[in-house]
Structure 1
Amino acid sequence: MSDGTAQHPHDRMKGPVIERRGQIHDESTTDQRLLDSRGSTDWLHTDPWRVLRIQAEFVEGFGALAETGPAIAVFGSARTPVDHPFYAIGEEVGRKLVGAGFAVITGGGPGAMEAANKGACQAGGASLGLGIELPFESGLNEWVDKGINFRYFFARKTMFVKYSQGFVVLPGGLGTLDELFEALTLVQTRKVTSFPIVLIGTAYWQGMVDWLRDTVLAEGKINADDLDMMVLTDDVDEAVSLMVAAREDRWPTLAPERPE
């Protein structure tokens, strides 16, 4: 284990929420368990019970994140190796966002997400992780100081959008693309207030942007202004400055007018 664990030898679990280091505020417990195991357990697999479980995820998420303060979501591939240049860039992103007064929220996994959490944690800021139950990943990375592990993608996505003032997107795969296009769709359809969506890595993202312009826009499937919802850069300082501009209400509302 790295020195992140050595600095704080114990974690604090509060239901599905994990707290570490400076995010541990008390030692109280909230255990309330259903102890009666008699009878059939078929009820656990019915849709009404799933509704209660979904409700619980929203309640836990809102409760854990309500006092987060200004935060930026950082997305990127779980497959980014520690020795890859974009891992170092992820650390820089986390560190500089904290320096600008933001908390950092990631998907809580390895790779680029771990890098951003590490940068935020080592800079002394709030390092948060919203994990998801997957068959090929387990647990939150060690640099997450407060984390929630979700069963349902839609509950997790709600937390990202509700508690983030902007998105920084590092190179990633299908999960990263899912979060990116979810954010773009919400801004385009005015389901959320416009906020900055910054793609870091021009060599990686330029082909996608070109396709959106040369094919999707050319076919009339989007408006020209829709492309302005994204900013493409290699400069971490530029990305952070755009997040600061949004916090100070200097970020333009880019969602285009829609015909009635």
Structure 2
Amino acid sequence: MEIEVIDAQISPIGRMEVLSRAEAARLSDHGHGGLRETFRNCSLAVLNCGNQLDDGKELLERYPSFDVEIIQRSRGIKLDIKGAPASAFVDGKMIRGIQEHLFSVLRDVVYASNEINGYSGLHSTKFDLGSSDGVTDAVFHILRNAGIIDPVSQPNVVVCWGGHSISREEYDYTKLVGYQLGLRGLDICTGCGPGAMKGPMKGATISHAKQRINNARYLGFTEPGIIAAESPNPIVNDLVIFPDVEKRLEAFVRAGHGFVVFPGGVGTAEEILYVLGILLHPENTELPFPLVFTGPKSTEDYFRRIDSFIGETLGAEAQSRYKIIIDDPVAVAREMHAGIGDVRAYRKETRDAYYFNWQLRIEHEFQQPFRPTHENMGKLTLHKQQPRHLLAANLRRAFSGVVAGNVKNDGIREIEKNGLFELHGDPAIMGPMDFLLTSFVTQGRMKLGGRKYNPCYRIVGEASVASTIA
């Protein structure tokens, strides 16, 4: 079947109306130091909103003629778009939310190039990315540049994590939880994609309307590697693209006040391991950090397996940092509302900002970008002879590599070129990991719409079931 595409010229919506000549040149440059590929790929992902596709490589191949050019005018810029997915338009006019997202991409790609990564891919001179404080400062500036930092607002942001490939029952449950959160005046922040990232926002829009809340925020945090697999849903009214997954994860825990985890796959496990690794750091033991795992009755076994994996790898202290609430959206919302009240009281007492969690200690191990190559995946330190928060950091990297091999363009190409990733480690770690990953495969949590899953990893030294499933 022929794919319908549209050509259009789009004017800015938002804050990115003008570019310098140097910025426009880098956005048009195919060579070293150019931003063209990143901007093009992220733009296509935004325009692909609503289409059932979670394969970054396949998306690029499906729209080979897609292109976006900068038109410099005396009164500002326009985007000249060729071969865009027709689903982004209604009667030939681009949907406004998607148009806003397109210019959020432009804003963040340019800002990261100018301020975070430096020109031509060199290290930033403004931020010391080799230090923990420097990375945190960079994350803060990205959020501030995107207009996310609001010093006037009270703590009310609930971060909702969960899979893009979930059942209809699970999706409806996320909407019920979002509805109850919205009734209590809480805003929603997610990874901005479909499934458990869209459901809470959709539920909250109804309750915010009932409560006559006209300034509700639906924050979406993503990064260039994952955006094609999780195209931003149109409910998001503040989209931010971070340079890498590590800065994206830090933005969640710095900007959020409470956290709800719905059922998901490897990416959700990565997020859980990230946050638990941070909470296991000795300097974070006293910080209030509301964290709830929840789903409908049918997901009770799913969360039992997650809880068992955490207990077997990170121990009882990690298990004590969250609550599991099954099939009770009201209880989840009440837990979040009360927990965020504790966050507010603590930050008021310690004179910390409401809008950014400066006190949270994040080790540089959690901030360093991890490139999932075969060599790096094979060298991961997956044993218990290390502090638990560092074990969590390495487990997070392992799951991040599987995410890349599943859905990210670069990761998929790495697997096609060199075969499956191999994971080595302590049998006491690798056994539970294999069991958990296998359960994700059998439950259809790796790909959208029950699409066939071809594993990208092999667990060495264990009788791996997942690695043999085709």
Q: 1:98-113 maps to which residues of 2 (within 5 A)?
A: 98-113=182-197
Deviates more, 1:130-139 or 1:31-40: 31-40
1:32 matched residue in structure 2: 19
Match of 1:239 in 2: 332
Mapped partners of 1:40, 1:130: distance in 2: 26
Partner deviation per Cα, 1:64-114 (whole Å, 9 max, x = no partner)? 221164201000111125xx1111111112221121121100000011101
1:89 aligns with 2:203: no
**Which secondary structure state, in structure 1, belongs to the residue aligned with residue 20 of structure 2?**
coil
Following superposition of structure 1 onto structure 2, how do residues 68-217 of structure 1 map, counting pairs within 5 Å? 69=154, 70-81=156-167, 84-124=168-208, 125-134=216-225, 136-137=228-229, 139-190=231-282, 192=284, 193-201=287-295, 202-213=300-311, 215-216=312-313
Equivalent position SS for 2:178: helix
Indicate if the aligned counterparts of 1:161 and 1:183 stay in contact, CA closer than 8 A.
Answer: yes
Q: Which amino acid aligns with 2:142?
A: E
Aligned CA RMSD, in angstroms, stands at 3.4
Number of matched pairs? 222
| Distance verdict in 2 for CA 1:131–1:211, change over 3 Å | closer
Q: 1:159 to 1:250 in 2, by over 3 A?
A: closer
CA distance in 1, matches of 2:20, 2:206: 36
TM-score by length of 2: 0.42
Structure 2 segments unaligned to the other structure (5+ residues): 1-10, 36-112, 128-137, 209-215, 347-386, 388-470
Q: Distance in 2 between matches of 1:53 and 1:72?
A: 33
> Do the aligned partners of 2:292 and 2:322 also contact (CA within 8 Å) in 1?
yes
Separation in 1 of the partners of 2:330 and 2:12? 33
Counterpart of 1:14 in structure 2: which amino acid?
R
Q: CA deviation at 1:62?
A: 2.9
- The Cα shift of 1:146 comes to 1.5
1:59 has 2:145 as partner? no
Cα shift at 1:166: 1.5
Percent of aligned pairs sharing the same letter: 22
> C-alpha distance in 1, partners of 2:126/2:13?
23
| Structure 1 contact 197–229 (Cα < 8 Å) conserved | yes
The code of the aligned residue for 1:158 comes to E
- Take 2:142 and 2:250, find their aligned partners in 1: how far apart are those partners? 12
Q: What is the rounded CA distance, in whole Å, between the counterparts of 1:78 and 1:114 in structure 2?
A: 9
- State whether structure 2 residue 236 is matched by structure 1 residue 249: no
Paired with 2:15 and 2:126, the residues of 1 have a C-alpha distance of: 17
Contact 1:71 1:102 in 2 (8 A): yes
- SS of the residue corresponding to residue 12 of structure 1 reads coil
Residues 144 and 191 of structure 1: is their aligned pair in 2 closer, same or farther, counting only changes over 3 Å? Answer: farther
- Distance in 1 separating the partners of 2:126 and 2:232: 20
Conservation of the 8 A alpha-carbon contact between 1:187 and 1:194? no
Cα drift, residue 53 of structure 1: 11
2:290 and 2:340 in contact (8 A); partners too: no
Question: Residue in 2 aligned with 1:21?
Answer: none
Match for residue 14 of structure 1? 15
Match of 1:4 in 2: none
Cα distance in 1 for residues equivalent to 2:278 and 2:217: 26
Cα gap change, 1:239 to 1:54, in 2 (>3 Å)? farther
Residues 54 and 34 of structure 1, relative CA distance in 2, 3 Å threshold: farther
Residue ranges of structure 1 left out of the alignment (5+ in a row): 1-9, 16-28
- 2-structure distance, mates of 1:207, 1:148: 32
Residue type at the aligned position of 2:338: A
Cα distance 1:228–1:40, how it changes in 2: closer, same or farther (>3 A)? Answer: closer
Residues 166 and 196 of structure 1 are in contact (CA less than 8 Å); yes or no, is this contact kept in structure 2?
Answer: yes
Q: Which has the higher contact order (CA 8 A, sep 6+)?
A: 1
The Cα shift of 1:190 comes to: 4.5
- SS of the residue corresponding to residue 249 of structure 1 reads helix
Q: Judge conservation of contact 1:121–1:144 (CA < 8 Å) in 2.
A: no
Task: Tell me, in whole angstroms, the C-alpha distance in 1 between the residues paired with 2:125 and 2:202.
Answer: 31
Separation in structure 1 between the aligned mates of residue 32 and residue 160 of structure 2, nearest angstrom: 39
